[in-house]
Amino acid sequence: MTTESSQQLPAFKGLVQETGAAFAAPADQSLFSSMRQAGIDWPVSCRNGTCRTCIGQLVTGEVAYDIPWPGLSLEEKRDGYCLLCIARPLCDFVIQRT
């Protein structure tokens, strides 16, 4: 008898600072996808990290990217800017529109 155990990745808590909208943000999907599933409106266009339409700024929290260099400068990354269409959460976070 073989038993498969699937590990479920954590879901973090996301919050949009301006509206107070809270949502679940699974670690294996983009912030934008999580927001969309929660019915939160956020601008997006290319969905691959190049157009910058979805840019936001983390007030708290941290994200990761699957691509080595998303369309952000080092200064923007340092200042907490992220591209929600390709950013995955690493912990609970608060985001604001730029």
Q: pLDDT tens across 43-82, in order?
A: 999 988 889 999 999 999 999 998 877 789 999 999 999 9
> In terms of Cα–Cα distance, which of 93, 85, 95 is closest to 31?
85
Q: Residue 1 has what pLDDT?
A: 43
Q: Domain locations in the chain?
A: 11-97
**What is this structure's pTM?**
0.87
φ/ψ (deg, to 5) at 60:
-140, 155
Q: Residue 2 has what pLDDT?
A: 43
Q: Which residue has the higher pLDDT, 19 or 4?
A: 19
Confidence of residue 89 (pLDDT cuts 50, 70, 90): very high
Distance between CA atoms of residues 88 and 63, nearest Å: 5
Q: pLDDT tens across 27-44, in order?
A: 999 999 999 999 999 999
Q: Which residue has the higher pLDDT, 3 or 67?
A: 67
Is 3.10.20.30 the CATH classification of the domain at 11-97? yes
> In terms of Cα–Cα distance, which of 75, 78, 74, 82 is closest to 98?
82
